[in-house]
Amino acid sequence: MPELPEVETTRRGIAPHVEGREIVEVIVRQPHLRVPVPDDLIERLVGARVGVLARRAKYLLIPVASSDTGGDAQGSSLLWHLGMSGSLRIARLGELPKKHDHIDLVFDDGALLRYHDPRRFGFVDWLAGSAESDPRLVRLGPEPLSDAFGGERLYRLSRGRKMAVKPFLMDSTIVVGVGNIYAAEALFLAGIDPRRSAGRISRERYERLAAAVREVLAAAITQGGTTLRDFVSGTGEPGYFKQELNVYGRHGQACRRCGAELRLVTLGQRASVFCADCQS
């Protein structure tokens, strides 16, 4: 599933090609996604101009405004979620769609934004007004690369929690965008056993964990995300952070730090790989 680095990589890749451009055509080949494509999406978007793209957690926000500032689309956005297998990339007019290319936004310069999603677990929806008031976004925790996130927040919210620290870290009300891959990697860097009770970890160790989260996510964004199966960037490139993974997907292999065999457990119904010697 595309996680925060993959969505941020997508935003950075497509932004230069779509920001400030007018949408001249919308092609919907498959309206039956996880959330059905709004019936009036084409009517709303044709003639609208794209603003500055943003990301909130794993959601991509594409602001659009009608060319007439008094128009219905003023102050509105597309809310796009890539689901488990979705990707957005830039194509050109005349480039034939592939199977599972469900939506095209065609721009005034001949470029188009193409949505590909084999499993159809992603969606695009129309948001009128402030995106932060949308119920899917309003309860989300802070961005992990923002000043609002840190070890003090993790320490404070973990007090009295008996749940394991890994699913605690993956809770989007605590902090957004730390999915299974990046939680496993951050816990390894911080030297914390993912099975440990969240409420029994010290403030000092949470400070190390917050720093590790930032380090891992920043590195993944720099590497273009992690391609495990379906993900490609907005320019069609895979992510290369997979080659930097220390623990995720490596159970039974040697720890890169100490050489011990990496172990696999299930926490919160998710596979978790760790080094019992390096993480305590």
List residues forming the annotated binding site.
Answer: 100, 119, 161
Mark whether 162 is an active-site residue: no
Mark whether 3 is an active-site residue: yes
66 forms beta bridges with: 48
Mark whether 58 is an active-site residue: yes
Mark whether 200 is an active-site residue: no
Binding-site annotation: residue ranges for DNA: 100, 119, 161
Selecting among 44, 55, 58, 89, the annotated active-site residue is 58
Q: Active-site residues: which are they? A: 2-3, 58, 270
